[in-house]
Structure 1
Amino acid sequence: MLSPHECATLILVNDAPDQIELDRAELHTLLEHQFVTIEPLASGYQLPRITPHGHAFLHAVGRIR
């Protein structure tokens, strides 16, 4: 089960991935559970993205449809 902070971070990755700091402990937990992945961009910047597993979780808790 995810903590409230991890759930909030997952929602933030879904809604505003460019607003997440990649060194957040919650993000590392989400990576370990395969709820998010880090996508390298051509600019050299990295952007967190929701995985299908992460989308399923958000759908299950009623955050997305």
Structure 2
Amino acid sequence: MLSPHEIAALMLLETNQQSEYLDLGDLDALCERQLVLLEKLASGDEQARLTEQGRSILRSVGRIH
């Protein structure tokens, strides 16, 4: 089961893709559950993005269609 903070983190990622504002513990938990994927950018930075499983969670809570 996801915590309210983890669900909120999914919602933030779905709307603006800025993982630097997220709690690292929440981000780690979402990565472990394969709901978020960290992509390495050419600049060397990492960008978090939702996986299909992450989008499925948001659909189930009525956040996206």
Fold agreement, TM-score > 0.5:
yes
3-state DSSP of counterpart to 2:29: helix
Percent identical? 47
CA distance in 1, matches of 2:41, 2:52: 20
Structure-1-length-normalised TM-score:
0.89
- Structure 1 residue 17, shift from structure 2 partner: 1.3
Q: Which amino acid aligns with 2:12?
A: L
Residue of structure 1 in register with 2:39 after alignment: 39
Structure 1 unaligned residues grouped into runs of 5+:
none
Unaligned residue ranges in structure 2 (runs of 5+): none
Q: Distance in 1 between matches of 2:44 and 2:23?
A: 16
The alignment of Structure 1 onto Structure 2 pairs a total of residues equal to 64
Aligned counterparts of 1:25 and 1:10: Cα–Cα separation in 2: 13
Distance in structure 1 (CA, Å) of the matches to 2:8 and 2:59? 14
